[in-house]
């Protein structure tokens, strides 16, 4: 019996700790943090101390575990809680949420359930074996040293709180934003050469997947050949739609990287006498539900293809063309106009974006590269959308002598992620390709196709739009030409942000 006790006692002590180790590991992994042995030990000690009291275990530990579980499927797939994901809870409609959740592998849901199961097994085994680790003085001394060394268990809540407070602060600013602009009165310079200015905002498009920037699949025939200027060097303001466009479409603070909604580019155009239009295939949730919506609704005319929780996320970008055509046919007398087209582009899931596109440029046989093929084809669809937009403008120019300039850029890029043996795109990590986005301009008086390699900062984008439209204002930094061969001199710390990010170049899917 003595020999049996020598063997049985260590097993009784170790088995609960195995369950607790599994649960603590999965909680940290599900929170999206880099795994730290110190943090896992700290989490285990917290549970062990609380386990000495039934009330403490069920009223403190279990609620903590449940909060970890709520985010765990997202954390396992995309990483730790951030402005982007918390903002999605406030600003994304039902259909986009379904697409987002659809990217989560089934196994990650099992891992989430395993968190609760393993923590309950720890409780059950300690009670069954009558194990109370806190009765051992040596254990208590080691535990106190470990807990005072690093307070790991609450890093997740601190990060979650900071992200939530940032979103709350942003939404508060949007909801209390005054309608009047802070631009004051603007004037037009002699560089305001066109009657109609069209700005097309692409979605989730990194430029290294465009043929016009060197990708080997020919998915940009219009961009490759149209007369105008293609810029290789624009860096986005952020790694997701909200983070990027709130900086690129306002006069951003280049030191703090914060937007100024009272100095947005729509109000800038209006201050110079432009009539403004915003046509969007993105969701509309309410007047100030998102930074982008708040800017859009400052326009004289807005059109959204879907409202609120409208469950057809797969509305086609082509639907915007009929609205554009009708606007072009009703030009206001002696007034310039700015028309914004905010398309769905290559938004995940990219395969849904090309259901109505019959000019696919590549197919693959390997399921591993199926999504990338959809992404490459979604870029071809955007190229076709630009071609059709240009044709409408050109026909209107020939008919009514309505001169025009068309600019296209994208809000941000994406990074690769292997899920269930398929290469997908999402924002689980940051690479320099998140910031590398396309920029090009095609005008009615362009005579040749030109490409420039020149750095252009997304934080100067509103200044650049002012230069493009020929607008002069005391708040605008002068001579910020987005389409010159000259690089902008200051990146405002962007390169420091991305210099230590992962290398994530485009993947050639030909023959896959």
Residues 89 and 152 occupy one common structural domain: yes
pLDDT of 446 higher than 90: yes
Decide if pLDDT at 150 tops 70. Answer: no
pLDDT for 83 equals: 65
Tokens of 238: 């952020």
pLDDT, tens digit, 9 for 90 and up, residues 162-178: 767 766 666 666 555 55
Residue 177 forms part of a structural domain: no
In this prediction, residue 241 has a pLDDT band, given cuts at 50, 70 and 90, of confident
User: Mean of the pLDDT values across residues 442-449?
Assistant: 96
- Residue 214 covered by a domain: yes
As given in the structure block, the two tokens for residue 144 are: 């106190």
pLDDT of residue 49: 86
The answer to whether residues 351 and 236 belong to one domain is: yes
Number of domains in the chain: 2
Residue 205: inside a domain, yes or no?
yes
Are 119 and 213 in the same domain? no
Residue 493 lies in a domain: yes
Among 32-36, 262-266, 415-419, the range with the most confident prediction by mean pLDDT is 262-266
311, 349: one domain: yes
Q: What pLDDT score was predicted for residue 213?
A: 97
pLDDT value of residue 167: 64
| 379, part of any domain | yes
- Percentage of residues in the chain with pLDDT exceeding 70? 83
Please state, rounded to an integer, the average pLDDT across all residues of the chain: 85
Region 11-32 average pLDDT: 88
What's residue 493's pLDDT?
A: 86
Query: Residue 315 above 50 pLDDT?
Result: yes
Residue 39 CB coordination number (10 Å): 23
Distance CA 481, CA 469 (A): 11
Question: Higher pLDDT residue, 276 or 420?
Answer: 276
Query: Phi and psi for 506 in degrees, rounded to 5?
Result: -60, 150
**Comparing 104 with 9, which gets the higher pLDDT?**
104
Average pLDDT over residues 474-494: 92
157 and 55 part of one domain: yes
> 404 or 512, which is more confident?
404
Residue pair 504/415 in contact (Cβ under 8 Å)? The answer is yes
- Reported pTM: 0.77
Tell me, yes or no, whether 172 lies in a domain.
Answer: no
Which CA distances in Å does 36 have to 20, 43, 282, 294, 439?
15, 11, 40, 41, 41
pLDDT in tens, 387-435: 999 999 999 999 989 999 999 999 999 888 888 889 988 766 778 888 9
Looking at the domain assignment, is residue 508 inside a domain?
Answer: no
pLDDT at 45: 83
Note whether 153 and 241 are same-domain residues.
no
pLDDT tens across 171-216, in order?
A: 666 555 555 678 999 999 988 999 999 999 999 999 999 999 999 9
What is the C-alpha separation between 7 and 24, in angstroms, rounded?
Answer: 26
Same domain, 210 and 134: no
Q: Exposed, middle or buried: residue 499 (CB in 10 Å: 0-12, 13-18, 19+)?
A: exposed
| Contacts for 283 with CB less than 8 Å, ≥ 6 apart | 92, 93, 95, 96, 304, 306, 307, 308, 310, 313
Assess whether pLDDT exceeds 60 at residue 287.
Answer: no
Can you give the pLDDT at residue 1?
Answer: 45
Structure tokens at 132: 């109370």
In tens, the pLDDT along 65-118 reads: 999 998 898 888 888 877 666 665 555 555 666 666 777 888 989 999 999 999
Question: Same structural domain for residues 199 and 153?
Answer: no
Tell me: pLDDT of 8 over 70. no
- Domain range holding 89? 2-167
- Domain check: are 247 and 350 in the same one? yes
**CATH number of the domain that 295 lies in?**
3.40.720.10
Q: Write down the pLDDT at residue 40.
A: 84
Residue 312's pLDDT band (boundaries 50, 70, 90)?
very low
What value does the mean pLDDT take over residues 291-316? 75
Residues 6+ apart with CB under 8 A from 245: 201, 237, 291, 292, 295, 411
418 and 457 together in one domain: yes
Q: Is residue 243 part of a domain?
A: yes
376-392 tens-digit pLDDT: 999 999 999 999 999 99
What integer is the mean pLDDT of 336-364? Answer: 91
Q: Tell me the per-residue pLDDT of 352-369, one tens digit each, with 9 for 90 and over.
A: 888 889 999 999 999 999
Instruction: Assess whether pLDDT exceeds 80 at residue 465.
Output: yes
Same domain, 115 and 230: no
Range of lowest pLDDT (302-311, 441-450, 465-474): 302-311
């Amino acid at each position: 019996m003595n020999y049996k006790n020598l063997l049985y006692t260590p097993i009784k002590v170790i088995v609960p700790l195995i369950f607790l180790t599994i649960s603590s590991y999965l909680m940290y992994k599900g929170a999206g943090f880099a795994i730290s042995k110190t943090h896992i030990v700290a989490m285990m000690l917290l549970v062990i101390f609380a386990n000495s009291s039934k009330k403490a275990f069920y009223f403190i530990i279990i609620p903590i575990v449940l909060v970890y579980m709520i985010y765990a499927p997202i954390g396992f797939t995309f990483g730790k809680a951030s402005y982007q994901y918390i903002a999605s809870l406030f600003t994304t409609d039902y259909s986009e949420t379904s697409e987002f959740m659809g990217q989560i592998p089934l196994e990650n849901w099992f891992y989430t359930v395993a968190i609760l199961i393993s923590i309950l097994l720890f409780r059950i085994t300690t009670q069954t074996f009558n194990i109370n680790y806190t009765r051992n003085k040596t254990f208590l001394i080691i535990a106190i040293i470990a807990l005072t060394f690093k307070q790991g268990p609450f890093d997740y809540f601190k990060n979650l709180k900071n992200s939530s407070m940032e979103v709350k602060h942003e939404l508060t600013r949007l909801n209390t934003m005054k309608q009047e602009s802070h631009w004051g009165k603007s004037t037009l310079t002699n560089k305001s050469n066109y009657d109609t200015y069209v700005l097309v905002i692409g979605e989730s498009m990194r430029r290294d997947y465009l043929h016009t920037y060197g990708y080997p699949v020919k998915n940009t025939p219009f961009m490759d050949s149209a007369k105008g200027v293609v810029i290789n060097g624009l860096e986005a303001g952020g790694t997701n739609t909200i983070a990027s466009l709130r900086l690129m479409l306002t006069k951003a603070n280049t030191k703090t990287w914060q937007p100024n909604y009272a100095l947005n580019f729509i109000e800038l155009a209006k201050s110079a006498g432009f009539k403004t239009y915003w046509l969007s295939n993105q969701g509309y949730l309410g007047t100030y539900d998102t930074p982008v919506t708040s800017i859009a609704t400052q326009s004289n005319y807005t059109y959204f293809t879907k409202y609120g929780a409208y469950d057809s996320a797969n509305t086609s970008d082509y639907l915007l063309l009929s609205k554009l055509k009708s606007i072009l046919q009703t030009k206001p007398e002696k007034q310039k106009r700015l028309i914004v087209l905010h398309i769905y582009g290559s938004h995940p899931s990219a395969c849904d974006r090309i259901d109505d596109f019959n000019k696919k440029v590549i197919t693959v046989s390997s399921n591993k590269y199926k999504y990338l093929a959809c992404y490459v084809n979604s870029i071809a669809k955007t190229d076709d959308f630009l071609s059709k937009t240009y044709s409408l403008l050109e026909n209107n120019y020939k008919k009514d002598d309505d001169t025009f300039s068309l600019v296209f850029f994208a809000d941000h890029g994406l990074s690769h992620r292997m899920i269930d043996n398929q290469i997908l795109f999402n924002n689980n990590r940051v690479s320099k390709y998140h910031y590398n986005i396309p920029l090009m301009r095609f005008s009615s008086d362009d005579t040749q196709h030109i490409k420039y390699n020149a750095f252009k900062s997304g934080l100067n984008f509103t200044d650049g739009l002012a230069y493009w439209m020929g607008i002069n204002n005391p708040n605008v930094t002068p001579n910020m030409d987005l389409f010159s061969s000259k690089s902008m001199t200051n990146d405002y710390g962007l390169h420091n942000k991305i210099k230590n990010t992962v290398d994530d170049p485009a993947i050639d899917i030909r023959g896959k």
